[in-house]
Structure 1
């Protein structure tokens, strides 16, 4: 069952239950008031009278709706009228029918108890020959009770008609609610249908160019917007992966070709014995560089995708440890100014990027140069006294595999600063590179993203 059909069905059921509840309450209230009115009618037809010593003195006054009294002098104080069935019940069980002689009212032990005076009068519904009557029993004399009953056939017919009409109204209301729910649900679930269509399009074609119009600010609109954003991020990620694969295949081809050539020359015996050790040393160097290149490719490909949780990271501690390692790899000196601070970050990724910043400074600094490292609440800045950046190179220093003319004669893959920029983007920071006053360069992060 579709979502639209379920919504329409739920609306119809809810409205049907509501209408049914109201109809049931209305029917119950009407029935109660109708029966109460009949009870009042019976009481009016059998008013309280002085206790009759001798029931044989009772006479029946037919017509005119007056019923019975104690002879002519009692005619104003009638007991029953001709529009009801009536009879007198004696404590012995004898019954004397007073009105509607075709109907004999049932007599129970409770009716005898009323005649004895041990039980108050009461009203009940009885069925006589398949016809419902409302029956009132009241004490009449020291040893008798009066029973007055009214046929409920007309009343039951009216109540049955009311019940049927209320049932039809309930069914009609539920059907109308279902139609209205179907129409409203069609408008409500339209973005969901578009979302489903877009998801099926992506699953079928692998294309991420589907866009869902938002145009609303409710939860469904937010869902559509989030889906569009997800598709855009997936498309960006896929394009980045494709560029990475293309760049990596190009960059890996050169070292692989060199390795294969040297190995084939050694295998064919084309290398003179005097040069064999030199070729082997070149092979070892190329393998190390190739391994470093693959490692950096893996680092770049997994930035923001590795399952490394954000933690409150002591960035000053990370920088201090990285400076210690870098100082042991070169002859430069390090001047640090580090403000203790905690940032939510991924430790391994940040540690690798800080190492790349320091390695870049070491690579370009003169052997006896000084490298400055500053950390405060706003930024991390690593400065060197090397040649700095050429103005043509500055826009491209964070691109993958980009190497300036001067850098091509030096070891490196062109991925170090690309990793620095990727880690910054993953944490919401901004990577920057600029030339330094007095010569050299500064590379680092702005933590505010500005």
Structure 2
């Protein structure tokens, strides 16, 4: 009572239906049960078809046997005499069949020592001449099931009222029902064995088929319990289970790589933050000690300290901004992508670069180019490319900027990058040994590479022919903006 009440309560106040009970079973049990039901249905359908076909064949053979029975005229005359009390039963020759005369009014006269068979409408129709013959199954008065064949009698045979008679020949249906009953028993036993075997085979197949799923479940539970992303599941073949195993292995590998990158990013960020923080703390300690001790720092030294503190704070702010940019989601659909005029962004970035390098000469040649990208991220990427060129250009140098056909080229005339360092320039926090004394976090080019990838483009650095470095950012787009989408 309590279990039923608890089940009803969990199901919203109503008892579980058959489908709901089936869904609550384990998958292995459901597969075995469905296999058993399917096999049972197929076996039952086959057994029923076999039984029906056998019954029809046996009944047809019995009908053919009845049609071929030749009733001698002498037997008919004797039966007629017996029906008219002109012949005693003891003088009537017995036959293996039940023979009787049928009138159109439904009167029957049966041979002696045989149970009368009530006339059916089909029999009277034959006697009345409306049909040529009739065959049917009915019961005699003693309850025996009989197969009856009725046809008109060819001789001049009438009843007491002068009506013509038909003659019926019948045999017990035991010739058909007994083999059918034996066949039904055999089919029932075979079907039972088949269903039992199907249930056993279904359970075995379900266990064997779901064994990879069990391994996958164990692996998922192990990962959830231990956070161990190194676990892998063997994947053999090309079926759905193997595909699922390979997908799980790829997912754990991607998660492990993402976690490693996250840990590396945290470690690198901590390392990069430690240097400016240490320098900043040292300078502030000097200023505090000077105030507490009353020993004034020379004005020039104090201004140098304050300038250094300001520069270090700016470096910290830039590093934090770069980290925030890298921590933003990079999956498609998570950023506000819009049609952006790349030539306008290049123009804005050039103005900022001229302010940061007032002694440099910046030349620009920009053709119109429209791309689909996140505006803020794209502007940050272009600014990073120009800032990199400003940082490595000598005083009084020239920076050449060209935008043509979706390819933005930024050329400086600085010291250039050695060939062995070019593969590392887009790695996070990587800085050339010759540039470690310059301000920067080592994240600028990483941001450029990520933005280019999100926009479907590429970025690369190469050494210029006459010295310096060329940064080439290529983005897909068009020289004219796409037509505006209609409202609504």
If the length of structure 1 is used for normalisation, what is the TM-score? 0.77
Displacement after TM superposition at 1:136 (Å): 2.7
Q: Note the aligned Cα RMSD (angstroms).
A: 4.0
Distance in 2, matches of 1:338 and 1:181, equals: 70
1:219 aligns with 2:232: no
1:241 aligns with 2:262: yes
For structure 1, the 5+ residue unaligned runs are: 62-67, 69-79
Alpha-carbon displacement from aligned partner over 1:179-216 (angstroms, at most 9, x marks no partner): 44444444443433322222121111111111122221
Residues 1:220 and 1:336: Cα distance change in structure 2 (over 3 Å) = farther
Residue of 138, 144, 148 corresponding to 1:126: 138
Displacement after TM superposition at 1:386 (Å): 1.8
Displacement after TM superposition at 1:351 (Å): 4.4
Residue in 1 that maps onto 2:77: 58
Answer whether contact 1:84 1:99 (CA < 8 A) is retained. no
Residue of 397, 418, 442 corresponding to 1:414: 442
Answer whether contact 1:401 1:414 (CA < 8 A) is retained. yes
1:360 aligns with 2:388: yes
Residue of 446, 466, 482 corresponding to 1:438: 466
Which stretch has the larger CA shift, 260-269 or 237-246? 260-269
Which stretch has the larger CA shift, 278-287 or 146-155? 278-287
Residue in 1 that maps onto 2:174: 153
Residue of 96, 101, 105 corresponding to 2:117: 105
Residues 1:309 and 1:180: Cα distance change in structure 2 (over 3 Å) = farther
Residue of 204, 228, 234 corresponding to 1:207: 228
1:330 aligns with 2:353: yes
Residues 1:191 and 1:368: Cα distance change in structure 2 (over 3 Å) = same
Residue of 352, 362, 371 corresponding to 2:400: 371
Answer whether contact 1:303 1:349 (CA < 8 A) is retained. no
What is the correspondence of 1:192-203 to structure 2 with a 5 Å cutoff? 192-203=213-224
Residues 1:400 and 1:26: Cα distance change in structure 2 (over 3 Å) = same
Residue in 1 that maps onto 2:192: 171
Alpha-carbon displacement from aligned partner over 1:113-164 (angstroms, at most 9, x marks no partner): 4333345542222234443222233333543232322111242121112122
Distance in 1, matches of 2:375 and 2:99, equals: 100
Distance in 1, matches of 2:344 and 2:246, equals: 43
Distance in 2, matches of 1:267 and 1:280, equals: 12
Residue of 282, 298, 307 corresponding to 2:324: 298
Displacement after TM superposition at 1:262 (Å): 7.2
Residues 1:443 and 1:114: Cα distance change in structure 2 (over 3 Å) = same
Alpha-carbon displacement from aligned partner over 1:4-51 (angstroms, at most 9, x marks no partner): 44444433433333333222222211111111221222222267x9xx
Alpha-carbon displacement from aligned partner over 1:385-439 (angstroms, at most 9, x marks no partner): 1222256654542232233455344432221012223345567766433322211
Residue in 1 that maps onto 2:39: 15
Residue in 1 that maps onto 2:5: none
